[in-house]
Structures are given as C-alpha cells and as structure tokens.
Amino acid sequence: MNGTEGPDFYVPMSNKTGLVRSPFEYPQYYLAEPWKYSLVAAYMLFLIVTALPINSLTLYVTLQHKKLRTPLNYALLNLAVADLCMVLGGFTVTLHAALRGYFSLGVVGCYVEGFFATLGGEVALWSLVVLAIERYLVVCKPMINFRFGEKHAVCGLALTWIMALTCAAPPLLGWSRYIPEGMQCSCGIDYYTPKPEINNASFVVYMFVLHFVIPLGIIFFCYSRLLCTVRAAAQQQQESESTQRAEKEVTRMVVVMVISFLVCWVPYASVAWYIFANQGTQFGPVFMTAPAFFAKGAALYNPVIYILLNKQVSALCDAKFPFEISSLLKMFSYIACGGPRDGKKLLPGSCISWRTCRSPSRPGWC
C-alpha cells in the first residue's frame, strides 16, 4: 500500500520513512509545504467572507418580502440555506485546520466538518434538481392542467433535505466514515480504504449512484427538454424578436448552469471514484485536495448563478443595500444576462425565462 492507514485516518504517503503522523495530533507539513496550507486557508477565508454575506442577504431579503415567497424562489432560498450550512458548519472548521496544518479539533471536529459539508452540498444539489423539474413543468408543460404550486415546492424542499440526510447521516451511524482527505485539513467520505467492518465499499457505490449519477441525469434531461421547447417556440414565431432573444438567453443560461455543475462536482466525483476503484495506488495529497476545494466553491457559485440573476432579488437588494453588496448583485446580473436591452425595463422573474414568461404579472412563476 502506498499510503498509511490509521484507526481514523488515511495519509497518502507510505510510512517507510517514518515521517507519517496522525493528522489529528501533528502538523502535516511533510505532505505539502506550509505555504500551500496558507493558500488553502486564504481560499477558505475568501469563500467565508463572500459566500456568507451574499447567502445571508438573499435569505434576509426573501424572508422580508412576501412577493418573493413563490414556488421558484423557495428552491432558491433553500440553496442559500444549504450554502450557509456549508460555510458555518464546514468552512470555518476547514479554515481552522488549514491554519494549524492539521485537524487539531480531533475526530469529532472531522465528523462535524464532513457532515455539514456533505449535507450542504447535497441539499444544494437536490435543490438544483427541484429547480430543474420546476422549470421543466412550467415551461415545457408536459401536463397541461398541472400547476406547480406552493405545496409542490414545499414537498420538493422536504425531499432535498431527506435525500441529503440519507447521504450525510450514514457515516455518523456506522455505515462508512468521515476521514481527513488530501492535505488532511478537510474531511470527506472514506474513498481510500475498503474497511469491510463498516461496509465502506457498498456506501460509496450507493452514494455515487443515488446522489450523483441520478441527480445529474435529471438535471440534464430537464434542461435539454427546456431548450428544445424554447427552440420549437422560436421556429414557430420566426418574426418575433423577443422569442429569438429568449432562445439565445435560455441557451446561455443552460450552458452556464450545466458547466457550473460540472466544474463544481465532476472533478471531485471523478477523482474520488478513481481512488476508490484503484485503492492502494500512489497519489499525492494535492490530487484530492484540489477537486475537493472546487466542490466547496459551489457555496459561492450557487448564489451567483441561481440567485443573484433573479431580477426581483437584485432590485430589492439595491433598495435596501445600495452600496457594496448591491453593486455585486448588479454586476453579476449584468454580465450573465447581457445587461439592459434598448433601455427597456426587464420583466420580473428569473433570468432563465423572463422573456418567455406566459404571465408577467405573476413574478416568480416565469
């Protein structure tokens, strides 16, 4: 084996040199230079100081204004809650570990960080699934008489937390475990060891199938159908400039959504599966650290792509906070949505389909 396995850890370095020490008791600077740990700490600090206020602001504004409490915005609000779970329960612990060079909070701290990071990431992922299904039902209308209402949204959000708990809770109950990964300053599921006494292999397969492949398939299906529907509408109304614009904007937004999902999760999932399928092979600590921190960046990507592009939220934030945070909101909205067109006021609703809204007077359903 090219790594060293302990009772609660797996360090990706052979102990033939006698350098390997427990990541819960000693700094791990033999794995990487101290400046790399400082870089990780700086990155985590950046995520905390940006994702925390943006997600908190979104949560505050949505709860303060009844007109934002719509089925679509419920899922967006859930994204903010999930991201805050990751920031408060996971990123703060990772920052502390990176500054110390090891997991000084012990095994309990590792389980806390791993649980909240996994829970927040899974809630966010399944929230994106709910968003994709909502977009599919509203825009594509596969069921003519079906109306996506508040009860459906609440059920969808309950599903996100149930599914997230079925992924994050089992390691706490003895099915698999959380251990330090990569440079040993963040924790995740144990992909590194078979650990038959806790049925580790079966949990990893279960997690990949139910909590990665299936959500990804649903998202791709819904947005591909959404794109086909908008294109079909554009072909039937070739002289409608607004419809042609809608096709281009929906195409751009779908591409951004899919790419952001892939950037956040595919590198981590691919590396984790490679390590799991090739247990015992040699790999460096940075090999797992880099994709793991790409996935953590989703706490910032999510509000930028899915929430900050919501024109209603942007406008209300601008009214309440006209300075720094509001400027960020407007900047992201302008870049992703192409800015104002011909001096006309943008219609309410999410940027995904505000040009194709069938009922502009009902913001949040567009």
Locate tokens 């992201």: which residue? 332
At residue 242, φ and ψ (nearest 5 deg) are -65, -35
Angle between helices 324-337 and 34-64 (to 10 degrees): 90
The answer to whether the beta carbons of residues 301 and 260 sit under 8 Å apart is yes
Q: How many other C-beta atoms are found inside a 10 Å radius of the C-beta of residue 228? A: 11
Enter the DSSP assignment of 5.
Answer: E
Contacts of 69 (CB under 8 A, 6+ apart): 62
CA 168 – CA 280 distance, rounded (Å): 25
Angle between helices 241-277 and 200-208 (to 10 degrees): 170
What ranges make up the beta strands (E) of the chain? 4-5, 10-11, 178-181, 186-189
Q: How many other C-beta atoms are found inside a 10 Å radius of the C-beta of residue 235? A: 10
Q: What is the DSSP string of 132-198?
A: HHHHIIIII-SSTT----HHHHHHHHHHHHHHHHHHHSGGGGTSS-EEEETTTTEEEE--S---GGG
Quick check: helix, strand or coil at residue 179?
Answer: strand
Annotated binding residue 279: yes
Contacts of 17 (CB under 8 A, 6+ apart): none
Residue 301's nearest CA partner among 50, 81, 43 is 50
H helix or E strand, kind and range, residue 253: helix 241-277
User: Which residues participate in the annotated binding site for Zn(2+)?
Assistant: 279
User: Which residues participate in the annotated binding site?
Assistant: 279
